[in-house]
Each structure stands twice: as C-alpha cells, then as structure tokens.
Amino acid sequence: MIRNRIFFSVLLFCTVSCLYAGDKISSLSTVFSDVILSGMQPGMVYSIKKERGLPYEVKNETEDDAQVEVIAQVPAKRHLKPGYEAIPDASWIKVVPSNFELKPGEATDCDIIISIPPASEYENRHYQAMIVTQAADSPYMPGVSIGFSLATRLRFSTGATPEEVMNEYRAKVMDSLKIDMMPLSLNVGEITAGEYHELDGEELGVIQMVNRGREDYSVEFEISGHPERFNIASGYEYAPGDLRVKIARKKIKLKARMIEDVKMKLMVPENEEYYGRDFGIIVLAKIKDLEIPLELYSRIYFSVKEKAEE
C-alpha cells in the first residue's frame, strides 16, 4: 500500500482539459484551461509546443521520485464534447518525451505532435483525443505500479472551429476576465437634432467599463457597423448611418480593480426623416491581446425631438 499520496500538476495552456474518471484514479491535481485548435490540414505535422508555444507540463509535487508516462488515447463516447468525434487512431498523436522520471519538485515540458494523414476524408472534421498522464511501472520494482491516471481533452479541427465551441470558449474566458460593460442598455431620453449631446454622466448618463479582476487589459471602442447582430428594444430602430458619434478615448488600458467611464458625444443630423423617431446604437468594447477576439457591448437608446415650429 502506498503511504504517501502522489500529486501531479498537468497544465496544457490553450487546450481543454478535464479529470478522467477511471478505475485506477488516485489523488491528482490539475489546472483546467480551454484550448481550441483549428485550421489544421491533412498531410501536415504540427508541434503544439513549436507552433503555438504551448508546453504540456507535468510536475511532481510530492516528496518521492515518480516514474511517469504520457500517452494519447482514443476517447470513449461518453467523454466526447458536443460537435467532436473521436480521433480515428491514437497513433496520430505522439508525446515527446512520453516516459520519464521526476524527482520531488521537478517538472518536465512535453511536446504534443499531431500528424494528420493526407486524405480528403479527414478534411473539415472536428476531432478529440485524450492525453493521459499516468504512473508508469518502475523498472526497479517489477510488478509494482501506482494506480492513477489523469486525462485532458485535446480538440482540433481540420477547418473552422464549431461556432458552439467558440461560444463556449468565449463564455469561459469572459467569466475568468471578470470584466463588465455597464449598463447593458442606456436610455438617454430626448435629444435635439443638429446638436451634440454629451454622454458623460452629468445629464444623459454614461457607459462604464468595470474590471473586477487582477489583470490589466487593453480595450478598444467603436460603434457597431452591423447593429443587426444585436437585438434592440421593440419600438426602436437602428440609428441612421449618418449619425455622428465621437468617443472621447477609443483605446484605454483598463486597470485591475478599476472603473472607467466611456464618454462620448452624439448628434443626429437635421433631417426631416429623423424628427420624432426612436433610435438605438450599439457600442462595442473589444478586449485585445487574447487568444480569440472577444467583445462586450452596450445599447444606447434615444428619441429625436419633433422639429420646432417656425
């Protein structure tokens, strides 16, 4: 019986990972992170470490030496994520090194090599494999092994990534970023055509960016050129293309634990067609320097006053 429990930390940055509930699991620790690979081509060989700078790190956090092996396996149906199928053959994936010894506190970076056979049947497919980290039989203690395993899901596409997977990734990343754009809808009431109106928090309200996390982020703002992507309240129309909006600062560094006002001015041209109508615009906040594009948005509603009688 093993007296000291063995723990490993397995980190695969930008790859979806999970605990694999096998019959021989002992105590393991892991860091979960989301990884989505796409745009891969049949007939090509990819080194995840070289192409993306993503090492698969295995660390021995115990006080004992450990013999470890890391291998690829074809996943069982119950472990497949929606939109993905099992990799046809585990030999498509090699781990280097795949068998090694770690002394207490030591860590090893493994490279995951994906080789896709050159056949048209593998085009535009979405595959999943399991990367399994487990205790290897010690060459010094024949017949003795430590019964545990940890598996991470490796997903990749020979084409575009499924949209539902991208949405899942965005949701998880946004949850970890702890960034909000508030309010989701801002109604500034009536405005006069031909005049600039300031949305600065004094009279007409203001949109704010809230960073509740511990990291700083670069954010860029713009007015959506495709507002039809977003739903607006019943009774309102998408603002006309000649609406003039001036954002005070189009780029900001959103500091950790801080709130920033997104001040702007807007003016509706003096056009007979616009008087007495209700409009809505979409303000986008794009979070930069992330693995995939992420954006938040707020709706601004306003009504154009009727033309004054001459």
User: Could you report the per-residue pLDDT of 48-83, keeping only the tens digit for each?
Assistant: 877 767 778 887 777 778 888 889 999 999 989 888
Whether residue 183 has a cis bond before it, omega within 30° of 0: yes
3-state helix, strand, coil in the chain (%, to 5): 10, 40, 50
Domain limits, CATH 2.60.40.10, in the chain: 8-166, 178-304
Strand order in the sheet with 244-247: 197-199, 264-267, 244-247
Q: Please determine, for residue 104, whether its predicted confidence score (pLDDT) is greater than 80.
A: no
Q: Which pair of structure tokens corresponds to residue 49?
A: 């470490």
Q: How many CA atoms lie within 13 A of 46 on its CB side?
A: 21
Q: Which of 3.30.450.70, 2.60.40.10, 1.10.3720.10, 1.10.645.10 is the CATH number of 8-166?
A: 2.60.40.10
Q: Is the distance from CB of 75 to CB of 130 less than 8 angstroms?
A: yes
Q: Which of 94-103, 132-141, 258-267 has the highest mean pLDDT?
A: 258-267
Q: Please determine, for residue 106, whether its predicted confidence score (pLDDT) is greater than 70.
A: yes
* Radius of gyration for the chain, computed over Cα atoms and rounded to the nearest angstrom: 27
Question: Which residues 6+ apart lie within 8 Å of 35 measured at CB?
Answer: 12, 13, 14, 15, 16, 17, 54, 154, 155
Mean pLDDT of 96-118: 85
- A 10 A CB-CB count for 150 gives 23
Q: Please determine, for residue 7, whether its predicted confidence score (pLDDT) is greater than 50.
A: no
What pairing do the DSSP bridges indicate for beta strands 294-304 and 185-191? Answer: parallel
- A 10 A CB-CB count for 124 gives 10
Instruction: Enter the pTM of the model.
Output: 0.52
Assign domain 178-304 to its CATH architecture: Sandwich (2.60)
Lowest model confidence (mean pLDDT) among 3-12, 44-53, 158-167, 290-299: 3-12
Mean pLDDT of 106-119: 87
**Distance between CA 163 and CA 168 in Å, rounded?**
9
